[in-house]
């Protein structure tokens, strides 16, 4: 048996299956691959922005029971052990934290070389298991008895060495996965360890509870196999107030969305007057996360020669042009452009904008279809643009990008006719953010749509680069899965810069 301390931050978490990759990438600082297109080159080349990370060694996915079927297999939670985390799960955005049902800090790893046979373990504990009509989980838990007893012994030693007062303190044990009946088995093993050292009339000398208001110390254990377990001990406040009481339903309360009437734009809520910062849709959190991406912000800042250490540095990054929000209604992305980036936002959509967005001083609403004369004229008045974003819903994302380009080509022509010889629709560096909304939700169909879209993106980006006039333009882009994206959505972020 070997036990080792884990020096780097390590957490066990229960994460919604659809968010496993997104959460683990965020906690392990694994960025989506950025690719670069040079106007003179035919193919996009990968651009490294983060150190190479072997995700398999940092993220352990513990097998858990899954329901069969393409839809049911996407429900439920996956058990993860994440090593070398750059932050606590409590520091994730609320859109991510709401997808975590439990987290525990793990500080030790226990490993046994050759697990004992369950029969021998039962003889050691003095209890013979009857087979009869035992459930399958009990049979499975037998194979884990050796590691369970070993871990319980190590935990008890750690507790007593840290001055655990068995008469005054109350313990909570969170052991996973539940499929091996781990919680009850660890509790029983811990009681036996305590009984072996303390002469007590009771078989249960350790006070156990679940309630956060009663518990003083929490033990978190994750069994990754019949030979290996990760575990940690934390005081009440560290486990609850600073971690688990920021997850799941607690985090859901932080994701504020106050919808408006689709015809009038008035707030549906009868509560007090809502501020202009209150998100009008779930989509708000997509663009908000994009402009929290440190790699993106640093990229734009370096191109503009801006020091990002200042408090309001984000307001300076894209203030050299306007922001265009295509398909803006009800206005979540226009809110981000105006309130977070502090740039004038042109919201293009024939539908109504939320009143609290339309009333913002920096927002101009053009109620017209994308390629209509009214839209072209309105967009022309506010050119050039440093930011172009779109969260509109079209079954074919390539068609959406094509339509946006055609509209901006028309704007370029209008500008030339009005005396602007260069016809500059955009200014560099230019940042574009488009949501790709795929029509099907199966894993295979999503992968195919991503592949076909990825093949088409370089050509579209080269065409977009011509909107800023002549010259060689370098484009850096990535396709990512934001926390507020649905399972069938992806977001394309691109930065254009004239070389």
Is the pLDDT at 136 greater than 70, yes or no? no
**Which of 17-21, 112-116, 124-128, 357-361 is least confident?**
124-128
User: Given this model, what pLDDT does residue 120 score?
Assistant: 45
Residue 47 binned pLDDT confidence (cut-offs 50, 70, 90): low
What pLDDT shows up at residue 273? 73
Provide the 8-state DSSP code for 336.
I
More confident residue, 58 or 249: 249
Query: What per-residue confidence (pLDDT) applies to 422?
Result: 66
Q: Is pLDDT larger for residue 351 or for residue 114?
A: 351
Secondary structure (3-state) at 288: helix
CA distance 37 to 186: 55
End-to-end CA distance of the chain: 60
Q: Rounded mean pLDDT of 295-308?
A: 89
Q: Can you give the pLDDT at residue 262?
A: 86
Mean pLDDT of the residues in the chain: 86
In 3D space, the residue among 320, 375, 366 whose CA is nearest the CA of residue 347 turns out to be 366
pLDDT value, residue 40: 57
The radius of gyration of the chain from alpha carbons, rounded to an integer in Å, stands at 28
Contacts (Cβ under 8 Å, ≥6 apart) of 156 = 190, 193, 194, 197
Give the DSSP letter of residue 28: T
How much is the pLDDT for 365?
A: 97
Structure tokens at 63: 């097998």
Q: Which residue did the predictor score with more confidence, 147 or 72?
A: 147
Task: List Cα–Cα distances, 28 to 11, 63, 90, 264, in angstroms.
Answer: 11, 20, 14, 44
Distance CA 468, CA 431 (A): 12
Query: Which neighbouring-strand residues pair with 229?
Result: 110, 223
Rounded (10°) CA dihedral 143, 149, 155, 161: -160
Q: Give the orientation angle of helix 182-197 with respect to helix 145-161, to 10 degrees.
A: 50
Q: What is the mean pLDDT of residues 77-94?
A: 96
Q: CA–CA distance from 415 to each of 316, 378, 384, 421, 429 (Å)?
A: 26, 11, 10, 8, 20
pLDDT at res. 314: 83
Listed range (95-99, 187-191, 271-275, 329-333) with the worst mean pLDDT: 271-275
Alpha-carbon span 428 to 431, nearest angstrom: 8
**Can you tell me the distance from the alpha carbon of 8 to that of 174, in angstroms, rounded to the nearest whole number?**
21
The stretch 327-346 carries a mean pLDDT of 96
């Amino acid at each position: 048996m070997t036990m080792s301390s884990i020096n780097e931050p390590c957490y066990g978490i229960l994460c919604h299956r659809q968010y496993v990759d997104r959460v683990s990438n965020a906690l392990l600082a694994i960025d989506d691959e950025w690719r670069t297109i040079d106007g003179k080159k035919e193919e996009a080349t990968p651009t490294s922005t983060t150190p190479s990370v072997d995700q398999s060694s940092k993220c352990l996915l513990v097998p858990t029971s899954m329901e069969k079927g393409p839809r049911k297999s996407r429900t439920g939670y996956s058990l993860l052990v994440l090593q070398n985390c750059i932050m606590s799960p409590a520091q994730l955005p609320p859109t991510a934290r709401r997808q975590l049902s439990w987290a525990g800090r793990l500080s030790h790893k226990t490993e046994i070389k050759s697990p004992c046979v369950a029969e021998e373990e039962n003889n050691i504990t003095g209890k013979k298991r009857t087979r009869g009509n035992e459930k399958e989980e009990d049979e499975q838990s037998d194979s884990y008895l050796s590691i369970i007893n070993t871990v319980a012994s190590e935990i008890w030693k750690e507790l007593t060495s840290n001055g655990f007062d068995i008469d005054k303190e109350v313990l909570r044990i969170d052991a996973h996965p539940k499929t091996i009946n781990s919680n009850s088995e660890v509790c029983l093993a811990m009681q036996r360890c305590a009984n072996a050292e303390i002469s007590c009339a009771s078989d249960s000398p350790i006070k156990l509870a679940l309630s956060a208001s009663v518990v003083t110390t929490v033990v978190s254990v994750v069994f990754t196999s019949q030979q290996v377990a990760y575990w940690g001990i934390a005081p009440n406040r560290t486990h609850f107030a600073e971690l688990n009481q920021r997850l799941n339903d607690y985090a859901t309360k932080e994701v504020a969305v106050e919808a408006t009437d689709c015809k009038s734009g008035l707030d549906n809520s009868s509560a007090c007057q809502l501020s202009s910062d209150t998100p009008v849709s779930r989509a708000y959190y997509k663009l908000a996360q994009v402009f929290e991406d440190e790699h993106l912000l640093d990229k734009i800042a370096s191109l503009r020669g801006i020091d990002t250490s200042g408090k309001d540095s984000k307001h300076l990054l894209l203030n050299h042009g306007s922001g265009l929000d295509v398909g803006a209604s009800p206005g979540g992305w226009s809110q981000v452009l105006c309130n977070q980036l502090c740039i004038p936002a042109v919201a293009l959509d024939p539908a109504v904008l939320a009143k609290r967005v339309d009333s913002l001083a920096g927002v101009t609403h053009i109620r017209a279809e994308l390629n209509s004369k009214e839209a072209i004229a309105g967009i022309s008045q506010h050119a050039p643009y440093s930011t172009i974003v779109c969260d509109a819903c079209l079954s074919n994302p390539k068609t959406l990008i094509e339509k946006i380009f055609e509209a901006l080509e028309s704007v370029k022509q209008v500008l030339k006719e009005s005396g602007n010889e260069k016809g500059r629709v955009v200014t560099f560096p230019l940042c574009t953010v488009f949501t790709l909304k795929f029509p099907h939700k199966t894993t295979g169909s999503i992968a195919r749509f991503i592949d076909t879209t990825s093949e088409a993106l370089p050509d579209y980006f080269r065409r977009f680069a011509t909107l800023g006039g002549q010259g060689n333009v370098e484009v850096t882009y990535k396709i990512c899965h934001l926390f507020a994206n649905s399972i069938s959505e992806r977001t394309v972020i691109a930065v254009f810069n004239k070389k």
